[in-house]
Structure 1
Amino acid sequence: MADSDGDYVEELSDDETAHQVTRGGGPGTRSRKRGGLSSRRGLGGGQSQRKARWEDLQRSWDTVVEGADGSINSTVVGLLDAGKRKRSLRDTTPLQRGIIRHLILVLDLSSAMAEKDLLPTRYLLTIRYAQEFVREFFEQNPISQLGVIGMKDGLAVRISDMSGNPTEHITAIQQLGVQEPKGHPSLQNALDMVRAVLYHTPSHGTREVLIIFGALLSSDPGDIHQTINSLVNDRIRVSIVGLAAQVAICRELCMKTNGGDDSTYGVALNDSHFRELVLATTTPPVTRSAKMSASSLLMMGFPSRIVETQASLCACHSKLTKGGYLCSRCSSKVCSLPAECPACGLTLILSTHLARSYHHLFPLRNWLEVPWNDAGKSDHCFACQIPFPPVPDEHDRVSAATAVNSGTTTAPLAVMAVGTTTSVSSRYECSVCHNHFCIDCDVWSHEVVHNCPGCLSAPPPAPEHLHNGTAAMANGSLVSGDEMELG
């Protein structure tokens, strides 16, 4: 029996003529035209066939380039390396930044955080990323202080006080996991509490707020615009990470408190983007005003650790401990550093804390991608000694480039060109010492140690001018003798 669709004729109404549906060509093709008639053999001469929206699908696996063995393992590795390279590429312009920071983390604990668009829920994912943020914040800013505030039931609740001990904040945030989000958030009440907490902070430090906001409304008791003006007068910067959609009052809040810059307000697209927006706040902000850029002297103490034979009470928690640090001014014992002496108020830190904060002022330069022409200078990574891929001849390079451009998979080196931000030779060169490193050492050097292993292991330069046994180092520091002539 023949297909009855070919003989089917239907009169269409005026509303239906606005929607022309075209199905695939063939004997049973049926297309609706303006005249209400259907054709047995599809669209006739000269008329273009219009595809449905669901027919224009772009599959992610269609663009995957296979290797010579038919697998995509090398392609997956290339995509992972591209993600690592993207994280390490940052703005390395040396700018004046406030390395002594006072930041308040505000968490949305309202019923809007119970949504499951971010698995397992917005609430549980926020708690996990908040703990990662606390660890990373004190890793990058060891001489700064942090406090945590929550928003629920139209009120602002205190989660942890302002302190420099990350363990206290992480423990307080973990206890939120047993609670349930409820009520509506209140930005105004949270910002008023933030102003009260940051009111007594010293002027040499920055005042910042990071808000993780998952709702689309704010239950405020008064005019929030007055609160925004108060934040501007108090020099408090606000950064917001939205989880639902962009809210006009959040954008205005970030723009006014950051000198017209609204880049501190972002809406998370997925869980990985959410994590990037949260951890981006670990970098100290740039000082914009002349008052903040003015130099000021700050007295600090660098105590040494002591171990007592008998336990004694510490001045910070009133707990019996045998180990601790004695204040350089009043000899009061504190448990951990960095901290502020509870007795005299002196800032107590270690020299390593100050050195770890210094890298923000002079960040490590981004390393350059090494082409195949210069890849023959090295066969292994300078830091971890992992072997690099061998340098192919000119014929294989041209074949690989042709295979990638044409989409074929016959060339063995086609998979190595996946990702526009990765090096085709898997080598990255420091512009100072000109040593070659792998992608893992690139990320480790830029995100963890903030120094180049090749530059640190280079021998010191020879003394330039010697007079009567006097030696001058390259940086101009005097080593010995009475006379020194700097080059």
Structure 2
Amino acid sequence: MENEVDPTYRWEGDYEKTWEALKEDESGSLQASIEEEINKAKRKRLATRKVNVRLGMMRHLYIVLDMSAAMNDQDLKPNRAIASLKMLEIFVEEYFDQNPIGQLGIVISSDKRAKSVTAMSGTSHKHLEAIRKMKDGIIKDNGKNLVGEPSLQNSLEMCERTLRQMPSHASRDVLIILGSLTTCDPGSMYDTIEGMKKQSIRCSVVGLSAEIHICSKLARDTGGVYGVVLDESHFLDLLRDHIPPPPSSSRVESSLIKMGFPQHIPSGQTEKISMCMSSKKFSIGGYYCPQCQAKYSELPVECVICNLTLVSAPHLARSYHHLFPLPEYNEQTYDNRNTEKFAPTCFSCLLSFNQNPSAATIHSCNRCKESFCIDCNLFIHESLHCCPGCVNYRRELDLTINSL
């Protein structure tokens, strides 16, 4: 038949005519149809959230970035390298927001070599500064420093040397952003994959070109995820999938973790000059380790003298939601004729459901029974991690008890 797809061309069967999903309403507007497509993507993000799984909260993640000649391609604007660095800026900020006691390091690979850009650290500004510096260097040199081929094996072995020294109760992850279709390695990649598997290092790959067999095997054997980007928005979605803590391995030991909670001493309360162990500079005031009195300018950090993990109470509290995630809201169809069943406005943003084109479905909490729009539902489950209706109910209950 004329419209029949040849089964030998499988890519044609996977191709979706997305424009056919847009349909006009009675007034000839496409707004409602567009909002429905956007809401489908939002519902998909909520559906992919992992619940009732054991998570590794203390994360140690290495990002391996391909900086070879293949990153000069312009299928991502202005080129793959700058687009990847822009996405990494967003990723690093959101990573430390959702993993305040996690650590991160950056490794780049080009010209058959691997180079450490930032060491494993829990301070985001160091990584962001290094990313911006690389981005400015590529723009200034017009991509001339993007040369050669990457070395996947050298990069993984560099990450493995650091990650194998991490405590057994912490998760060990490597996220590879690969634009090249080739890799120049000095030995067998299969031996390297076995070594990563023995060290319980989870390796995930985000491909910018096409699926590669060795990357697929690396992700599959180590328990990671392999995805190939379609466009810029899909690129960011694939990176954001690695922000929540991954399910913890069954071989990870459960043990008590010794931590220190140092108080910040301002420069006005002390005149003693001492060296900051993080910046290697002399200064006044800072965070002092309660075990060895070493000084640091920021938290969280692992003391280089006594190896004590130094955090603040808010950092630990912000990691608490990974252990007890907020339950999913009930999704129901909104009928503006039945105002007794649903409130006329979203409890969070106070936007009227009757005036909101994306309010065809609303989300209600099982406990407080308050109604929320899909945008507030995403913000509550991905950033706030607590129900505003339940918090308001508890606050009113406390005020009532205190007044008695």
Q: Which amino acid aligns with 1:318?
A: K
Q: Which residue of 2 aligns with 1:450?
A: 385
Moved more, 131-140 or 426-435: 426-435
SS in 1 for 2:299: coil
1:229 to 177, 187, 194: 194
Q: Which residue of 1 aligns with 2:306?
A: 344
**CA distances 1:366-418 after superposition (whole Å, capped 9, x unpaired):** 2222224565431111122222217xxxxxxxxxxxxxxxxxxxxxxxx96xx
- Structure 2 vs 1, CA of residues 308 and 71 (structure 1 numbering), >3 Å: closer, same or farther? same
1:157 and 1:126 mapped to 2: Cα distance? 17
Question: Given that residues 108 and 114 in structure 2 are in contact (C-alpha distance below 8 angstroms), is that contact kept between their aligned partners in structure 1?
Answer: yes
Listed as ranges, the matches of 1:51-62 within 5 Å are: 61=19
Q: Does residue 257 of the first structure (1) align with residue 222 of the second (2)?
A: yes
Q: Tell me how far 1:213 sits from its aligned partner.
A: 0.8
Q: Which residue of 2 aligns with 1:335?
A: 297
Listed as ranges, the matches of 1:217-366 within 5 Å are: 217-258=182-223, 264-289=225-250, 291-292=251-252, 294-309=253-268, 310=271, 312-366=274-328
- Structure 2 vs 1, CA of residues 375 and 108 (structure 1 numbering), >3 Å: closer, same or farther? farther
Q: Which residue of 2 aligns with 1:168?
A: 126
Listed as ranges, the matches of 1:380-391 within 5 Å are: 380-389=345-354
Moved more, 428-437 or 62-71: 62-71
Question: Given that residues 105 and 148 in structure 1 are in contact (C-alpha distance below 8 angstroms), is that contact kept between their aligned partners in structure 2?
Answer: yes
Q: Does residue 432 of the first structure (1) align with residue 391 of the second (2)?
A: no
Question: Given that residues 353 and 359 in structure 2 are in contact (C-alpha distance below 8 angstroms), is that contact kept between their aligned partners in structure 1?
Answer: no
Q: Tell me how far 1:168 sits from its aligned partner.
A: 0.4
Listed as ranges, the matches of 1:10-159 within 5 Å are: 50=2, 61=19, 63-159=21-117
2:60 and 2:280 mapped to 1: Cα distance? 25
Scaled by the length of structure 1, the TM-score of the pair is 0.72
Q: Which amino acid aligns with 2:386?
A: N
**CA distances 1:273-322 after superposition (whole Å, capped 9, x unpaired):** 11111111112121232x31x42011101112221234643222122444
- Structure 2 vs 1, CA of residues 148 and 61 (structure 1 numbering), >3 Å: closer, same or farther? closer
1:300 and 1:380 mapped to 2: Cα distance? 45
1:58 and 1:134 mapped to 2: Cα distance? 32
Compare CA radii of gyration and give the structure with the larger one: 1
- Structure 2 vs 1, CA of residues 248 and 450 (structure 1 numbering), >3 Å: closer, same or farther? same
2:4 and 2:309 mapped to 1: Cα distance? 68
Q: Tell me how far 1:58 sits from its aligned partner.
A: 8.8
2:127 and 2:20 mapped to 1: Cα distance? 46
Q: Which residue of 1 aligns with 2:11?
A: none
Q: Tell me how far 1:158 sits from its aligned partner.
A: 1.1
- Structure 2 vs 1, CA of residues 315 and 61 (structure 1 numbering), >3 Å: closer, same or farther? closer
Question: Given that residues 92 and 364 in structure 1 are in contact (C-alpha distance below 8 angstroms), is that contact kept between their aligned partners in structure 2?
Answer: no
- Structure 2 vs 1, CA of residues 93 and 153 (structure 1 numbering), >3 Å: closer, same or farther? same
Q: Which amino acid aligns with 1:283?
A: P
- Structure 2 vs 1, CA of residues 52 and 234 (structure 1 numbering), >3 Å: closer, same or farther? closer
- Structure 2 vs 1, CA of residues 434 and 221 (structure 1 numbering), >3 Å: closer, same or farther? same
2:81 and 2:397 mapped to 1: Cα distance? 59
Unaligned segments of structure 1, at least 5 residues: 1-47, 391-414, 417-421, 464-472, 474-487
2:3 and 2:389 mapped to 1: Cα distance? 58
Q: Tell me how far 1:135 sits from its aligned partner.
A: 1.0
Percent identity for Structure 1 against Structure 2: 38
1:323 and 1:229 mapped to 2: Cα distance? 47
- Structure 2 vs 1, CA of residues 313 and 427 (structure 1 numbering), >3 Å: closer, same or farther? same
Q: Which amino acid aligns with 1:265?
A: Y
Q: Tell me how far 1:79 sits from its aligned partner.
A: 3.4
2:232 and 2:16 mapped to 1: Cα distance? 23
Question: Given that residues 92 and 366 in structure 1 are in contact (C-alpha distance below 8 angstroms), is that contact kept between their aligned partners in structure 2?
Answer: no
Q: Which amino acid aligns with 1:257?
A: T
**CA distances 1:184-215 after superposition (whole Å, capped 9, x unpaired):** 01111111111112132111211110000111
2:175 and 2:209 mapped to 1: Cα distance? 16
Scaled by the length of structure 2, the TM-score of the pair is 0.86
1:234 and 1:58 mapped to 2: Cα distance? 41
RMSD: 2.7
1:370 and 1:353 mapped to 2: Cα distance? 35
1:454 and 1:51 mapped to 2: Cα distance? 53
Moved more, 449-458 or 320-329: 320-329
- Structure 2 vs 1, CA of residues 228 and 60 (structure 1 numbering), >3 Å: closer, same or farther? closer
- Structure 2 vs 1, CA of residues 435 and 92 (structure 1 numbering), >3 Å: closer, same or farther? farther
Q: Which residue of 1 aligns with 2:178?
A: 213
Question: Given that residues 92 and 363 in structure 1 are in contact (C-alpha distance below 8 angstroms), is that contact kept between their aligned partners in structure 2?
Answer: no
Unaligned segments of structure 2, at least 5 residues: 6-14
Question: Given that residues 89 and 366 in structure 1 are in contact (C-alpha distance below 8 angstroms), is that contact kept between their aligned partners in structure 2?
Answer: no
